[in-house]
Amino acid sequence: MRNRNSTDDGMFMLGSGVSTRRPFLLIVLLFFFMGVAVGMTGALPALFGRVVKLSDTPASLVRMLFYGSCLFFALPAALFNRRFCYRRGLALGLAVCAAGCLLFYPALRTAGSALSLTAVCLLAVGYSVLETSANPYLLSLGSPRTALRRLNLAQAFGSAGAAAGLLLGRSFTPESLHAAGASAGTVVESGVAASVQAAGVPAAALTYVGTGVVLALLFAVLRRARMARIEENAHSGQTPSAGDSLRRLIDDRRYMSGVAAQFLCVGAQTGVWSYAARVAMEQTGRDEAGGAFVSLISVLVFVAARFCFAVLMRYVRPGVLLVYASIAAVCLTGLVMFSGGMIAVTALIAVSACMSPMVPTLFGLTCEGLSAEDAKIGGAGLVMAVLGGAVMTALQGVIADQTDSIGYSFVIPAFCFVFVGCYGWYAARLPEGERR
């Protein structure tokens, strides 16, 4: 624990006395509007799959595109940052994201699957580049003691944007389509389809255009803004090659354990949200609309808790906080597995609160103490760990099928939370800012 009366100077100040408040605010805006675009894209397959020609791009394919982009474009983005700087990496990600958002307009208006896939791909690639560039940059925008607070606070705004995008996505279709269960490839009444095509699709298309325009404006601001060249200030001497950095990271037990923890953490988070609606339906007898409502509440609780944890990090060491959150998540997951009714549903919603600080905190703890150049490559590895969302969720689905119980499948998230808690305990025992 930290002394409550102590203050962490340097939250937005470099050691040279240069303020980083403006760059931080710019990245917060970037995260928020990027989150809006990602949230809407996640809602598209379920909402429009039966009335727009998105039946060829179901939710699983959209998810695969995002995972694939993080896997294949994070390392090139890191190499780009090494060759140039974080600012140019952020600008590149913004430009690609803006292009993807703008492409959604003709894709939705013409009901074109190929254009929709291309727009999703562009958005996913831009997201990967932005995450790879922004996260390590945020860690460096001030004192190392406040690095994780900065990252959690910025990511909280990104989560808020994603929640806003999800709500916007749901608002683009009439309630009758939600109640019917909007799975891709299912036939709906012609009147419902016409309603969505007449009102929902144009609204969604224009919202994407508006988001794309905002991202383009942020790109213009970023090109003219004065951004601290952190990588030049933080590293002196001969710059190591990317291969040298990669070899050091592979030999670094703390780093590799952090990547494994991030892999499992993303897997747990994706699994909990993927099956939240089904748990609510099985435990309470709700219909698909009721299950979707529980999923939405879980996301909103996650967003609110992320802001709360960002404040708590002023008083509690991030590693210790990660241990507490993991223990609570394991206990709550046990309730989901072995209780029933509203107790299980309430516990499931509470798990989302416990998950809220995990991903950014693991990112910061894993990169803590790395040199500036090694952190660029290291950040890419942590972004690539999002693949855990596909692997662990698939494994959870197998267990659900074998046991004929969605509740028992939550043993997978429970295992993931145990590993995350162990890593937090390990990191909490290390001196803050320890270099490797």
Domains parsed from the chain with CATH numbers: 19-230 (1.20.1250.20), 242-429 (1.20.1250.20)
Q: What is the pLDDT of residue 186?
A: 45
What average pLDDT does range 264-268 have in this prediction? 95
Q: What is the pLDDT of residues 288-318, one digit of tens each?
A: 777 778 888 999 999 999 999 999 998 999 9
Strand partners, 19: 13
Q: Look at residues 425, 377, 419 and name the one whose alpha carbon lies nearest to residue 261.
A: 419
The stretch 66-79 carries a mean pLDDT of 85
What confidence tier does 93 reach under pLDDT thresholds 50, 70, 90? Answer: very high
Query: Which residues face 13 on adjacent strands?
Result: 19
Whole-number Å distance between alpha carbons of 151 and 73? 21
Residues 133-150 pLDDT 10s: 999 999 888 888 888 999
Long-range contacts from 255-258, C-beta under 8 angstroms, 24+ separation = 255/366, 255/370, 255/378, 255/381, 255/436, 257/423, 257/426, 258/362, 258/365, 258/366, 258/367, 258/382, 258/423, 258/427
170-180 average pLDDT score: 54
3-state secondary structure (DSSP) of residue 13: strand
Q: What percent of the chain has pLDDT over 90?
A: 43
Long-range contacts of 311-316 (CB under 8 A, 24+ apart): 313/148, 313/149, 313/152, 313/357, 314/2, 314/8, 314/149, 315/1, 315/2, 315/4, 316/1, 316/2
pLDDT at position 432, please? 59
Per-residue pLDDT at 234 exceeds 50: no
In the block, residue with structure tokens 């624990």: 1
Assign 3-state DSSP to the chain and report helix, strand, coil percentages, each to 5. 80, 0, 20
Q: What is the pLDDT of residues 181-194, one digit of tens each?
A: 444 444 444 444 45
pTM equals 0.84
pLDDT digits (tens, 9 = 90+) for 328-384: 999 999 999 998 889 999 999 999 999 999 999 999 999 988 888 888 899 999 999
